[in-house]
Chains A and B, each alone.
Chain A
């Protein structure tokens, strides 16, 4: 139960952060990615600000041997080394990101609006994940 409540609280905080920083708005994201147009650099500050916090938090946790308050151990990804799937997947994701202005976090947060294009994107994104699940199982 405590883990559920913590997850809800962290999700809410993350969603609020995405809203306040306006990363939730595709217009902002596309403006940020548009190098040749009128650049909107605000999201760079959002990312740098977020990294300033997460870098310290992860470093502190490592140095002090702090474990998580809840749950059973940090789940740090085990994979090492850059492989083709990582690069190809990231490249595909980048194209979709540029075509929409949505990456997964803000896309879910934007569902709050109930806007049809956002819902359509959300359904489609889930479909893409399901396709990967079946494709992935077939291709090991």
Chain B
């Protein structure tokens, strides 16, 4: 809000492949902050910030490819569509959010209850 940007993480990340210094700077600063935030919470507030990967590395690599490609093709991820987009009442964001929630829930259902048992 303060800098007038839509904080879509996938958009910020995707746009980081730019050669324009002006566009690159704020993106890298934002991404650095994103990594810094949990460190602040952990070290200054002394809170536990657990991260427990749920799947093996090969599955995560496949998932990463899908997330990277999908968010660029779909013009956004959870922060851009579900937070900023829904807040603005964007029809595209409502459609996108509904779609990725349905496929994510279906995927978890299949891996947890159909394959994983």
Contact = CB atoms under 8 A, between A and B. Distances in A.
B4 interface: yes
Given A110-B51, A121-B61, A86 B96 contact: yes
A129 B37 contact: no
A30 to B, nearest CB: 5
A90 B74 contact: yes
B59 A24 contact: no
Interface string B37-57: 111111000010111111111
Interface residues of B, number: 87
A41 interface: no
Main secondary structure of the interface of A (DSSP, over half): helix
Interface string B89-102: 01110011101111
A121 B5 contact: no
A104 B77 contact: yes
A123 B64 contact: yes
A89 B73 contact: yes
Interface string B59-99: 11111111111111111011101111111101110011101
B64 A89 contact: no
B3 to A, nearest CB: 4
Interface of B: 1-7, 9-10, 13-14, 17, 25-27, 29-42, 47, 49-57, 59-75, 77-79, 81-88, 90-92, 95-97, 99-109, 111-113
